[in-house]
Amino acid sequence: MIVSGSVALAAAPGAVRAVLEDPETLSRALPNVDRFGWSDGPAEGSFAVTIRPALALGEIPVRTVWQRLESTGVADAASAEASADGPLRYRVEGRTDEQRVDLDVLLEIAPGDSAAASRVSWQLGVHVTGTLRAAGQRVIAPIVERQVRLVLEAAGEEAAR
């Protein structure tokens, strides 16, 4: 399933990008983060975060591993540096005790209505298993939209400091 949207933020595009590119700063800004650490994941620079997204059923801890990707889907520091103004891409693999949530994240950061504002357009490819999959699209899409908005708003607030 693909879920997309956009969020206006009261911070300059460069400052928003800096927060979204720095895992430690981003994880400190996010609500409901229990743990941050560097991962032994599939690529150098991968990081692990345990989050507790607030759902109608309460907060469910999700162990996630984030991997920064360049436009071809291969993590590479030189190409990430070369596309400094291009979209940000992450592959996020998440697990709970009962389900798996995989996300392909695309973030495009553009200037907003003023020099101190941004608009972040986002698209997530979402794949879920377990009881979440049974909930279907009518439940998953609003949950994803809310969580992405919370993440981007937290990044915007951190960037505005």
CA distances (Å), origin 140, targets 40, 62, 80, 128: 29, 15, 31, 9
Mean pLDDT confidence for 91-106: 91
Query: In this model, does residue 83 exceed pLDDT 80?
Result: no
What is the pLDDT at residue 3?
A: 93
Mean pLDDT confidence for 44-68: 82
Q: Report which of residues 57 and 106 the model is more confident about.
A: 106
Break the chain into its structural domains and give their ranges: 2-160
> Of 1-5, 34-38, 123-127, where does mean pLDDT reach its minimum?
34-38
b/e sequence 31-50, b meaning 16+ C-beta within 10 Å: eebeebeebebeeeebbbbb
pLDDT band at residue 57 under the 50/70/90 scheme: low
Does the pTM of the predicted model rise above 0.75? yes
What is the pLDDT at residue 41?
A: 61
At the topology level, CATH places domain 2-160 in Alpha-D-Glucose-1,6-Bisphosphate; Chain A, domain 4 (3.30.530)
What is the pLDDT at residue 75?
A: 41
Q: What is the pLDDT of residues 10-33, one digit of tens each?
A: 999 999 999 999 988 888 877 788
